[in-house]
Amino acid sequence: MASFLLIRLLRWTAGLLLILFIAYAMMYYGAGDPIRMMFIQGEDFDSEDEVVMLALRKKYGLDEPFLVQFGNYLSNLAQGDWGRSIRLQVDRPVIDIVRFRLPISMQLGFAATVIGAVAGIVLGIGAALYHNRWQDRLTISAVLFINGIPVFVIVPMLLYLLVLQLKLIDVPYGWNGVFHIDSALPIAVISIGILPIIVRQTRSAMLEVKSQLYVRTARAKGMPESRIILRHMLRPVLTPVVTTLGLIMIGLINGSLFVEYVLSIPGFGLLTIEGIKKVDYPIIMAVVVIGTLIIFISNFLVDIIYPILDPRVRAQ
Amino acid sequence: MSQANARANVSRVVDDGSVFMGEQRNLWQDAARRFRRNWLAVGGLLVVICFLFLAAIGPASAPYDFLEQNIVKAFQGPSAEHFLGTDDLGRDVFSRMLHGARTAALVAFSTTAISLVIGVLVGAWSGIRGGLADEFLMWISDLIQAMPGLLLVILINTTLRRPIVNWFDALYEQTRNPFYLNTLWLDYVLVFSALALIGWPGLARLVRGQVLSINEEDYVLAARALGASEAHIMLRHVIPNAMGPLIVAVTAGMGGAIFLEAGLSFLGIGIQPPNASWGSMLEEGRRYWQIFPHLMLIPAVTIGLVQVAFVFLGDGLNDALDPRRNS
């Protein structure tokens, strides 16, 4: 078991390093010189002054050769120094920006996960109980339907419906805390994004558990159906749902990218898009590091937690 | 799978006319029957066919040039003259939507074709060879599958465009070949390759799994004993058996490619103006949504409809082509 986890850890760590290397190389060779962009777009300076550009490049360590830059970046990262933003919020340490932005997305994501998980598990169990009857078919079709509609389509359509037609809410804008009414729309939309994953996993797990002998025994002993579900079926049904954690995290990241962009919520997703549009190296690298880490850590957590929850896996 | 083969063989005997035992169907007829019973999937198929038809004939039969601006006629609602109205520059929305359909279909086909070729080659190689090459390829595909695909695609699209455009400019300077002057289509190539890069690992895993499981079958052992080559086993046994799951994966991949292209263009990263894409039209329409909501709603509804159609089609195919789920 320990050696299995160690090998997984090595695989993910090597993978993270590879991804960082490729991302840095793409940035270095492809994205263009952010210092020159400052001058060309005329946002920060008026003319192309080679001396100033050289000084700026030196300041951000952009005058070094590629491998030196990458090595510096890694060793700084290991010491907790994420660099400073070049263009987005000039000279502000990236870690400060992330510390402000990430919690916003995490609150939205957490609220969405809780709602999506509860709704998804209830719907999945319900669908499995009515297997192949109209309730099951309706749930599955409805879940497929909302699964099909992209976030960047749902949000504008909901805005049109709720703001222009029904006049139920004002246009949500910016970030006013997770309990503010403006957060209802983003949370709902992000949770819709992860709902299908949970419904499907719960339903198929439930279908498998339903035909187990101990469930039949419980029923034969005259146990009420609600008690059978809660006492005997819930735990084996919930265990496989844990394995979808990686997929859920991907869903949260994808959802927050579009939702935050559309509704101008200053979270992690909007930071990603702003950083990329401004070619702000340290920001883009930070986003890649954090995004990859979130996914890898959740996959690794599943590797650790799953054998604890399911003894059959431990035995193998 | 073996059951499916048995069924297929039975019907082959029937086709020869030597044995006849009531009505027999082969695997595909069986699948078609199951598919027809799922009306959501049939509806999805119809929408997808309409979409592909419009993409094929659309731009040629469009009432206006999709780039033609007429600022006097900006922001018109639907009328006899302009079927779906006009946008902020007075361009005909219907013509632009048709052109966007072409873009979406191009992205869907090219992306799937590229990832299919890479996926089948890598998967077959991994499955047949095994060993260190297999370990390495599967490690890479695991990494790509674990990454948030959108982040990866955004990164590729923003970083690779500039060097390629610069390279083309340099080539034009040297050769004066007008081919290198037009860089509009580069957006398409970039989107295709970025999407294919995140598309192939799923297909590779699928093909590899098929190779490994079919290699266990007795009839493959028999074929090998008779001196069949690896290529023969691939073409005669592995690919036909993998056909069902591959069709499902390819359908899902096409829907996913359209989704990602629209998303990228929506974020202003994919297909750049003046090229038409549903995603960028949605983003442009969003600027005026409180005054002229039709500019936002038309692309939004279209993207949603096509996406849902692909999802239902894929789900129906999945149910129909999985012989183990015989009902």
Report which of residues B179 and B303 the model is more confident about.
B303
Give the per-residue pLDDT at B24: 61
CB A84 within 8 A of CB A92: yes
Query: Of A195-199, B146-150, B320-324, which range is least confident?
Result: B320-324
Among B163, B263, B279, beta carbon nearest to A30 = B163
Q: Search chain B and give the residue with CA nearest A30.
A: B159
CB B238 within 8 A of CB B229: no
Q: What amino acid occupies position A174? A: G
Which residues lie below 8 Å from residue A264, measured CB to CB, with a gap of 6+? A173, A174, A270
A141/B156 Cβ within 8 A: no
Mean pLDDT for B5-25 is: 49
* Any B CB within 8 A of A250 CB: yes
| CB contacts, 8 Å: A164 with chain B | 289-290, 293
Q: With cut-offs at 50, 70 and 90, classify the pLDDT of residue B11.
A: very low
- For residue B203 the two structure tokens come to 């297909």
A258/B315 Cβ within 8 A: no
Query: Of A105-119, A269-283, B43-57, B109-123, which range is least confident?
Result: A269-283
Say yes or no to pLDDT of B12 above 60.
Answer: no
Give the per-residue pLDDT at B80: 66
Q: Search chain A and give the residue with CA nearest B150.
A: A254
Give the per-residue pLDDT at B18: 45
Query: Of B6-10, B62-66, B145-149, B312-316, which range is least confident?
Result: B6-10
Going by the DSSP 8-state scheme, the letter that residue A181 receives in this structure is: G
Q: What is the mean pLDDT of chain A?
A: 84
Q: For residue range A231-254, what is the model confidence (pLDDT) as tens digits?
A: 888 888 888 888 888 888 888 888
B146/A295 Cβ within 8 A: yes
- For residue B280 the two structure tokens come to 């960028």
Residues within 8 A of B (CB atoms), A 275-294 only = 276-277, 279, 284, 287-288, 291-292
Q: How many CB atoms lie within 10 A of CB A131?
A: 13
| CB contacts, 8 Å: A276 with chain B | 154-155, 158, 269
Q: For residue range B18-72, what is the model confidence (pLDDT) as tens digits?
A: 444 555 667 778 888 888 888 888 999 999 999 999 888 877 776 777 666 776 6
Hey, what's the torsion of the CAs at B196, A156, A139, B314, to 10 degrees? -20
Give the per-residue pLDDT at A31: 66
Q: What is the mean pLDDT of chain B?
A: 81
Mean pLDDT for A22-29 is: 83
Please identify which residue in the block is written with the tokens 């692309």: B299
CA–CA separation, A128 and A208 (whole Å): 9
A273/B267 Cβ within 8 A: yes
pTM: 0.83
Query: Of A85-99, A164-178, B17-31, B309-323, which range is least confident?
Result: B17-31
CB A176 within 8 A of CB A266: no
Q: To the nearest whole percent, how much of chain A has pLDDT over 90?
A: 12
Say yes or no to pLDDT of B323 above 80.
Answer: no
CA–CA separation, A80 and A76 (whole Å): 6
Q: With cut-offs at 50, 70 and 90, classify the pLDDT of residue B114.
A: very high
Give the per-residue pLDDT at B324: 60
Alpha-carbon distances of A252 from B150, B151, B155, rounded to whole Å: 12, 12, 18
B286/A145 Cβ within 8 A: no
Give the per-residue pLDDT at B303: 92
Give the per-residue pLDDT at A112: 93
CB A251 within 8 A of CB A52: no
Residue A153 Cα, gap to closest chain B Cα (Å):
5
Among A26, A159, A253, beta carbon nearest to B151 = A253
Q: What does the radius of gyration of chain B's CA atoms come to, in whole angstroms?
A: 24
Residues within 8 A of B (CB atoms), A 91-130 only = none
Give the per-residue pLDDT at A174: 74
Residue of B140, B147, B251 best to disrupt the A interface, most CBs of A under 10 A = B147
Tell me whether residue A252 is exposed, middle or buried, using C-beta atoms within 10 angstroms of its C-beta: 0 to 12, 13 to 18, 19 or more.
buried
Say yes or no to pLDDT of A77 above 60.
Answer: yes
In A43-77, which positions are buried (b, 16+ CB within 10 angstroms) versus exposed (e)?
eeeeeeeeeebeebbeebebeeeeeebbeebeeee
CB B69 within 8 A of CB B90: yes
* Any B CB within 8 A of A141 CB: yes
Q: What amino acid occupies position B168? A: F
Say yes or no to pLDDT of B3 above 50.
Answer: no
Q: Search chain A and give the residue with CA nearest B265.
A: A152
* Any A CB within 8 A of B278 CB: no
B304/A160 Cβ within 8 A: no
Q: With cut-offs at 50, 70 and 90, classify the pLDDT of residue B113.
A: very high
Alpha-carbon distances of B65 from B59, B274, B275, rounded to whole Å: 8, 12, 12
CA–CA separation, A202 and A199 (whole Å): 5
Say yes or no to pLDDT of B208 above 80.
Answer: yes
Among B158, B160, B310, beta carbon nearest to A276 = B158
| CB contacts, 8 Å: B282 with chain A | 152-153, 156
Mean pLDDT for A278-286 is: 84
CA-closest candidate to residue A285, choices A76, A16, A82, A105: A82
Q: What amino acid occupies position A200? A: R
Q: For residue range A31-42, what is the model confidence (pLDDT) as tens digits?
A: 666 776 666 655
Mean pLDDT for B227-242 is: 83
Q: Search chain A and give the residue with CA nearest B161.
A: A30
A250/B149 Cβ within 8 A: yes
Among B142, B163, B268, beta carbon nearest to A29 = B163
Among B289, B310, B315, beta carbon nearest to A156 = B289
Q: Is A93 helix (H, G, I), strand (E, B) or coil?
A: strand
Say yes or no to pLDDT of B10 above 50.
Answer: no
Please identify which residue in the block is written with the tokens 């702000």: A280
A153/B307 Cβ within 8 A: yes
B297/A156 Cβ within 8 A: yes
| CB contacts, 8 Å: A152 with chain B | 262-263, 266, 279, 282
Say yes or no to pLDDT of B103 above 80.
Answer: yes
**B211-220: which pairs have CB atoms within 8 A and are 24 or more residues apart?**
B211/B123, B211/B124, B211/B126, B211/B127, B211/B128, B211/B238, B212/B127, B213/B1, B214/B1, B214/B238, B214/B241, B215/B127, B217/B2, B219/B5
Q: To the nearest whole percent, how much of chain A has pLDDT over 70?
A: 93
Residue of A33, A152, A192, A204 best to disrupt the B interface, most CBs of B under 10 A = A152
Chain A and chain B share a number of CB contacts under 8 A equal to 128
Among A144, A149, A258, beta carbon nearest to B263 = A258
CA–CA separation, B295 and B306 (whole Å): 18
Dihedral sign, Cα of residue A265, residue A268, residue A270, residue A274: positive
B282/A288 Cβ within 8 A: no
Hey, what's the torsion of the CAs at A150, A154, A157, A163, to 10 degrees? -160
Q: With cut-offs at 50, 70 and 90, classify the pLDDT of residue A121.
A: very high
* Any A CB within 8 A of B233 CB: no
Dihedral sign, Cα of residue B97, residue B98, residue B101, residue B107: negative
